Chain A
Amino acid sequence: EAGVTQFPSHSVIEKGQTVTLRCDPISGHDNLYWYRRVMGKEIKFLLHFVKESKQDESGMPNNRFLAERTGGTYSTLKVQPAELEDSGVYFCASSHRASSSYNEQFFGPGTRLTVL
């Protein structure tokens, strides 16, 4: 079974440009999460999808970030326009089903974003 995949693995862009990150969760996983690690600090939660709906977007830093999950499969995270402080590693994770009990989150390898 394929794990969580993320594309691209690295992205280098200029300040003010737009970047779109993609995450493909494990097949059949209803829950999808985005996290971000900025410059060696802690990994921080951005948002959580249940299928195509945003369940919790309390961690989104500002309106330059737009996450979508059309059809409840893969997800994209767009940053527009990118700022220097957006540099970091963006992780995606998925877990099995929407339920009240704990489900393990499986992480992708991350996308390293550098904004110059």
Chain B
Amino acid sequence: AQSVTQLDSQVPVFEEAPVELRCNYSSSVSVYLFWYVQYPNQGLQLLLKYLSGSTLVKGINGFEAEFNKSQTSFHLRKPSVHISDTAEYFCASMDTGRRALTFGSGTRLQVQP
């Protein structure tokens, strides 16, 4: 069975500082990996995805993530955050043979001025 762990439930950070949101996954099969963002009163929006190929994946809004197979991690990073990045971020995996997403418990990013 797949599982996704997001170790940090909340991450406070000052504006223009760098941030890393951690995600570890476990699976006995090949997986795709994703980061979604949820702004208040909105649905989940795909930030970026890893399907295959280059392990460094760039997404929208200046975010990027690196797939590390040996450490089973897919951490999300941004070199300089903005107030508008305040949201909840979800890491997710998908078994390549299925369609169901397996989510982590979410990380609330709070960007302070």
Contact = CB atoms under 8 A, between A and B. Distances in A.
State the majority secondary structure of interface residues on B: strand
B1 to A, nearest CB: 11
Interface residues of B, number: 24
Contact of B103 (A40, A44, A106): A44
A50 B100 CA distance: 12
Interface string A28-48: 000101010000111111001
Max chain B Cβ within 10 angstroms of own Cβ: one of A35, A44, A93, A102:
A102
Nearest to A31: B99
A108 B44 CA distance: 7
Q: How large is the interface on A (under 10, 10 to 19, 20 to 34, 35 or more residues)?
A: 20 to 34
A4 interface: yes
B17 interface: no
B103 A4 contact: no
Contacts of B104: 42
Nearest to B46: A104
10 contacts: A35-B101, A35-B103, A55-B99, A56-B100, A59-B100, A102-B94, A102-B96, A104-B49, A105-B101, A109-B42
